[in-house]
Structure 1
Amino acid sequence: MPIKPRVLAVDDEERNLRLMEAMLLPMGYEFFKAHSGEEALDIVRETPPDVVLLDIMMPGVNGFEVARRLKANEDTRIIPIIMVTALKEVDDRVKALDAGADDFLTKPVDKLELKARVANSLKIKAYNDHMRSYQKDLETEIAKRTRELELAYERVKDASLDTIHRLSRAAEYKDEHTGDHIQRMSQYSVAIAKEIGLGQKILESILYAAPMHDIGKIGIPDRILLKPRRLEPEEWEIMKRHTVIGAQILQGSDVGFIKLAEVIAMTHHERWDGAGYPNGLCERQIPLVGRISAVADVFDALTSRRPYKEPISVEDSFAIIAEGRSLRFDPVVVDAFFSAKPEILAIKRKHPDTSPSKLVEMAELPYT
């Protein structure tokens, strides 16, 4: 059964209300009456009408104020307001328009004019209702599609990160002692960068880039990479080339996080005091991501099992990092590392070192 259009007439004189009711009821409208502005506002809150016939000159809350309140409310502003008044001055009509009136009827009300203006206002209300419903449906659909795109993007990012981890392991897959090193090291790097105050975008780039820090090891001969004893000086020089090889593998990309990975691969073994490799950079000559990844990489090497050593305790490892402050490591990065200690420990618990114990002769440098 079709819903009848609702018309609210507001006037402090009962005879005016009855007159309008007699004119409109035969047209099939549902008719409401209010004898004051306050009563009209109460009715609108409880049963919103489709059009309001509003007298201006009423005691208490007058028609101007009723119109202003209805138009100021998001839920009622699209209800057409027809001012029904004996006021004929231009200033009064301008004031009514400023208050939010959509149309005018002059008292005494003409029956044909009343019907025409109400019918026209109801068409406007129906159109506004349609547009509001369409907008809500559109916003709902946009929100749904946006969420679907966000989920799809997250799946792509997860798949990309998983691919990066798997490809990064290609450089270390023969070494059963590396375990979850690349995941721990990259997450340590993010935790440090977060404490330094880097933005979310760069944090995400570091998460994707840091796992590739040792990808250059794929170019190091197995006899050196997997040697369970001290490296000879000439062998150590070859091992140090993994930084350059990694940067060469990653160079030339237009992808932001791969560009960042190139920087990390080249600089994560540089030292604050200039004694690192491959280029002997010092202090802020070393890119910040290189300084961050250096601390993360060394801490993980210290606390993990290697062919040439058993893991060092967490507390001793923190002490070694502290000793390297302003020597091996950027002091600001070391301070951020210590500030991030709770998160660092949580990452280590989540990705424990499960490498088998094979303690052999100590290598030349125990945490490189």
Structure 2
Amino acid sequence: MNYPNWKNNLESSSFSGGQPPVDTRPLVLAVDDNQDNLELLTQILDLFGCQCVGAVDGYAALSLAVDRAPDLIVLDICLPDIDGIELVKRIQQNPDIRHIPIVAITALAKAEDRDRILNAGCVAYLSKPFNIKDLETIISHHLNSQPFLVEF
């Protein structure tokens, strides 16, 4: 078959030069050991206009944080290998990623849990089940952006 316009169409496309477009959305690392919770969180973050990368344990999260340097981390505290508090400490010890704000989303809902999590270095805390509008407010604040104007 002959495709006479194939070369012209390819050259005029936005992908010319072999370079894919650059994604300028903020990158958020979502960490939760429950696959359903992680999937829900990544879908919500996508609706908020964020790129999202996910991890199901603390070691994978630490590796992704170092490799990808996300703009924000959304973190479950109860993880199977190292808990979220230990992960926050390890992130804070790394000068390359210590500046990344960390938002805790956890089933730990007692006042002393909240205080312990915030004192460990998280910039915000939400207990599960969380309110999506609260998450939107926290994320937009820490990404220095306008509210995402997504209706739920």
Shorter-normalised TM-score: what interval? 0.7 to 0.9
> By how many angstroms is 1:96 displaced?
1.1
57, 75, 82: which one pairs with 2:78? 57
User: Could you say which residue in structure 2 is the equivalent of 1:95?
Assistant: 116
User: Could you say which residue in structure 2 is the equivalent of 1:36?
Assistant: 57
> By how many angstroms is 1:45 displaced?
1.1
Residue 4, structure 1, aligned to residue 25, structure 2: yes
> By how many angstroms is 1:61 displaced?
0.5
- 1:1-368 pair list within 5 angstroms: 3-123=24-144
User: Could you say which residue in structure 1 is the equivalent of 2:5?
Assistant: none
> By how many angstroms is 1:60 displaced?
1.2
Contact 2:66–2:96, Cα closer than 8 Å, also in 1: no
Unaligned runs of 5+ in 1: 125-368
- Partner AA of 2:35 in structure 1: E
How many Å separate the matches in 1 of 2:118 and 2:45? 25
How many Å separate the matches in 2 of 1:51 and 1:61? 19
Q: Secondary structure at the residue paired with 1:64?
A: helix
Q: CA RMSD in A?
A: 1.5
How many Å separate the matches in 1 of 2:60 and 2:96? 18
Q: How many residue pairs were aligned?
A: 124
Higher relative contact order at CA 8 Å, sep ≥6: structure 1 or structure 2?
A: 2
> By how many angstroms is 1:2 displaced?
6.3
Q: Which of structure 1's runs of 4+ aligned residues deviate more than 6 A? A: none
User: Could you say which residue in structure 2 is the equivalent of 1:219?
Assistant: none
- Partner AA of 1:107 in structure 2: K
How many Å separate the matches in 1 of 2:77 and 2:39? 17
How many Å separate the matches in 1 of 2:41 and 2:132? 8
- Partner AA of 2:28 in structure 1: V
> By how many angstroms is 1:4 displaced?
1.3
> By how many angstroms is 1:86 displaced?
1.4
Contact 2:46–2:52, Cα closer than 8 Å, also in 1: yes
- Partner AA of 1:84 in structure 2: I
Q: CA offsets per residue over residues 325-358 of structure 1, 9 Å max, x none?
A: xxxxxxxxxxxxxxxxxxxxxxxxxxxxxxxxxx
TM-score relative to the length of structure 2: 0.76
TM-score relative to the length of structure 1: 0.33
- Partner AA of 2:117 in structure 1: A
How many Å separate the matches in 1 of 2:125 and 2:100? 14
Structure with greater helix percent: 1
